[in-house]
Structure 1
């Protein structure tokens, strides 16, 4: 294989404060979409089982939805929350929000009542676009409580845009519009053919809010701007190498920053159609891979592990893919080797956070990420175009190359800050430089390695879990006196959540009861997989629980 230094001569002269610059084509994500629609016309934009939408249909439906939103009083700067799985309506709602002058709020479809309520109230969303099933199970209770600013609820079915309802995903489902909502498809049809006033955005206008636990454990809405979106979509196209002649396999959740940019954003920029399969299920995903033969994807390494171990998996299944990238969770070198043996192709690394609107480092296409012989860590790549990555000490000064410090990033992908939280913004993003909270080092050639985490954040299959949030739920159980949560190694998820509790005098609960208590109140990746009962939790002299001792 040609070395990375032959393909990318600038790598040989990398330093901790240098990165190659490229011209950024767009400052406005809506202008980016308009350009693709104009060039692609009736070509496929979204593929969903046996259906989907062309670029012209995506344009028409998003315009009709924008007209409907405006008729209901939606105005410039208003927020629309999208509470959906990986369905075409997600992209239609995103583009329609921009056409109506608004900001999309990306909500995890695994969120339960407490989590959904927080995001709706914190963002001040006026519109909720929601799956019918999620409305019945969660949304009605939250919006009906009167705690939010939501005035319009648009529900939609997983069965839209397809005629072949896969029993593995949609068994027993029927389309049935809840009586207290407006059907999304009906609203679009009612405004079909209407026009809306043209909207333009600047580089620092907010395109969407993506919620992250950040550095304090309190959920925060990262303000991903139109400039952020356009730049990182271009990173996927130009640095990673996603071409418009192929297609993108959408296996990452669209609500997550990886899916928002590595799937939707790069598709909107390059014109490559996006293949969607509702949610990740290994057998369904493999069927879509075999049927649609996509050329690019990015997902958590746990997804690829599941695919390799799925019944019927064959090496040829991956033959259409030109590049496979993994982000969101660390990759063990042994896993990368197993993937290469199983598929015949390497998995490339990418590293970023919600606050960097997806990647700030990536392995150049065709290159092999080195492994650090001392720690065994697999490099997460080199800084992408126009991006400065520095490794800083506790005082904020750069450390020498090869020495360990906090990974910090500066570039066009770094967000403005956190919605409505100026203090948290100043702490994590001083002068719009992201302090990642991850500890690592950089080689003289620019390869970045993550060694450990600075904070107590748990990384379960690429999802961030903050111990305090899980502890707060445990404290809601009537028997729990004290609770502490830590991350422990897990072969499949990388890390998983473990809890320690002590009980109030005279009260008790079983491990299964405590896990069920959390499972009912939290997204699936957050609840603890094991609970240990102790008489007393270790503490400092000031009463602070020592999670470090529990981990040890």
Structure 2
């Protein structure tokens, strides 16, 4: 169930991998400095028409770190970032490490209740926030937390071209009790923080889980986790090896933290940022900066393909495109290749695996399981053991379905301040993913679905992913989400929520008939509801939970 050195797919990777994949740096700051030494004058960050060189990033983060230390920040303290995809995010991250601290990445969509919890749970003493987010949310939250220093900044910094599609309502705002981040940096410009010793097992940042099964938990991503997964991206996906990386995923998310920031530091390669995901703005940025790699949710990639004005030329510069966050259907992969001329590869991981635990090696086509029709999410990353286990924690035979369990250098040390949750979800250091899947004899991993999303219809197991993949084959379907809803006769029955492609028309009855022709009788949806947009997380993952909750609250009692 584990290992990789004897797998036939190893030969598919052009340079091969040693049996003992060496982690090159002790910590992420050392990794950053190695990239700086290799290309000090090169662009580290590109933000619309603005650029920040590696040397400038080093100097800005030095000044910020020196200022933090001068204001009482100490080794092990937490600094929270409440930002969109802006250069200040990366500056704050590097500065936190230089000051010996731990960065806490906060979703900029978090509102008062959520922000209050995250600041309190992490014990952050410094907050770096967009001015608008401070005004709308944080100003009422901060007084009741341990935050002693608030540094505010603007999305208008580091660029001069005022894009009205994103910044129409933006204006500079100064708030009592806060300090402007760039003014703070200027006050300490030229200062260098004292040397800091960061060990591989020290926490680099806290990334919070979505809280779908309770309150959010702060995953403790260590420096070893960060360096290892950055190397996996570089060596297995070609990230940054041919040019710039485009930051399509939110930087606060583990995909953005590793698949964008960390690997851009390691290679080193320019990282292109565009504030937040807005399809037309992203398309313009692709033509302007001509990046060669990105990784993002398939829903975000599909949004680009369906945006007005999209042409094949928008992806002409890419040599490597990956999808993470959710498994993709063979239909979606084929549609992307047809539209762009570039294949989309699969990778799979969680917050707790610091991004990838399995990866499709660059240039290797992911196999399709002939029984389920599922597209593989890759093979175990180097030095990684992936097991498929039953409910009692026993390994199941190859090809059989069970929970995906992983252990390796990317698995987090645990959850911040939550030893019971750590013991339950990371027994013995192995992560119980909550995803159900299987592994082929060649080592390819296939995801069936989330364990908690399984539908029990008249005693039969129905996995929503399989129904969604069949719906994706219909030419009018843009996206779909399948959930179980209460049914007097079947206990649960299958319901599909579908959004339709622009210019297409289809009825619920036609979609039901489409599935009925292609699936066993117990699997096809008995109900289909066509809606404009499916609910999603900020990373583009479809929220079946919201649809289930909506059904439960609207159903007559």
TM-score (ref. length: structure 2): 0.81
3-state SS of paired residue (2:452): coil
Q: State the superposition RMSD in angstroms.
A: 2.7
Instruction: Tell me by how many angstroms 1:213 deviates.
Output: 3.8
| Deviation digits for residues 438-458 of structure 1 (CA, Å, limit 9, x no counterpart) | 111000111100112212599
| Deviation digits for residues 226-275 of structure 1 (CA, Å, limit 9, x no counterpart) | 00000000000011122445110001000000000000010011110100
- Aligned ranges for residues 57-96 of structure 1 at < 5 Å? 57-96=56-95
**1:10 & 1:369 partners in 2: Cα distance?**
11
**1:71 & 1:137 partners in 2: Cα distance?**
29
**1:74 & 1:186 partners in 2: Cα distance?**
18
Aligned pairs, number: 475
Answer yes or no: is 1:284 the counterpart of 2:286. no
Q: Which residue of 1 aligns with 2:51?
A: 52
Q: Is the 8 A contact 1:220 1:419 kept in 2?
A: yes
Answer yes or no: is 1:533 the counterpart of 2:530. no
| Deviation digits for residues 1-27 of structure 1 (CA, Å, limit 9, x no counterpart) | xxx98873389xxxxxx9943111012
Of residues 352, 368, 371 in structure 2, which corresponds to 1:371?
368
**1:40 & 1:413 partners in 2: Cα distance?**
27
Of residues 231, 236, 245 in structure 2, which corresponds to 1:239?
236
Q: Which residue of 2 aligns with 1:310?
A: 307
**1:20 & 1:294 partners in 2: Cα distance?**
32
| Deviation digits for residues 337-373 of structure 1 (CA, Å, limit 9, x no counterpart) | 1101000111000000000000000111011111112
Instruction: Tell me by how many angstroms 1:525 deviates.
Output: 7.7
Runs of 4+ in 1 over 4 A off after TM superposition: 4-7, 456-460, 486-493, 523-532
Q: Which residue of 1 aligns with 2:443?
A: 446
Q: Is the 8 A contact 1:19 1:383 kept in 2?
A: no
**2:404 & 2:331 partners in 1: Cα distance?**
25
Instruction: Tell me by how many angstroms 1:490 deviates.
Output: 4.7
Instruction: Tell me by how many angstroms 1:431 deviates.
Output: 1.2
Instruction: Tell me by how many angstroms 1:487 deviates.
Output: 9.7
Instruction: Tell me by how many angstroms 1:177 deviates.
Output: 2.2
**1:528 & 1:360 partners in 2: Cα distance?**
27
Answer yes or no: is 1:351 the counterpart of 2:348. yes
Q: Choose 181-190 or 211-220, whichever is displaced more.
A: 211-220
**1:41 & 1:244 partners in 2: Cα distance?**
17
Q: Is the 8 A contact 2:8 2:442 kept in 1?
A: no
**2:389 & 2:7 partners in 1: Cα distance?**
26
3-state SS of paired residue (1:8): helix
- Aligned ranges for residues 103-502 of structure 1 at < 5 Å? 103-144=102-143, 146=144, 148-213=145-210, 216-456=213-453, 489-491=497-499
Q: Is the 8 A contact 1:31 1:200 kept in 2?
A: no
Q: Which residue of 1 aligns with 2:30?
A: 31
Q: Is the 8 A contact 2:240 2:263 kept in 1?
A: no
Instruction: Tell me by how many angstroms 1:39 deviates.
Output: 1.5
**1:492 & 1:127 partners in 2: Cα distance?**
45
Gap runs ≥5 in structure 2: 1-5, 455-463, 469-480, 484-493, 502-534
**2:236 & 2:30 partners in 1: Cα distance?**
21
TM-score (ref. length: structure 1): 0.82
Measured at CA, do residues 389 and 20 of structure 1 come closer, stay the same or move farther in structure 2, by a change above 3 Å?
farther
Gap runs ≥5 in structure 1: 12-17, 468-485, 494-517, 537-552
Q: Is the 8 A contact 1:282 1:310 kept in 2?
A: yes
**1:37 & 1:314 partners in 2: Cα distance?**
36
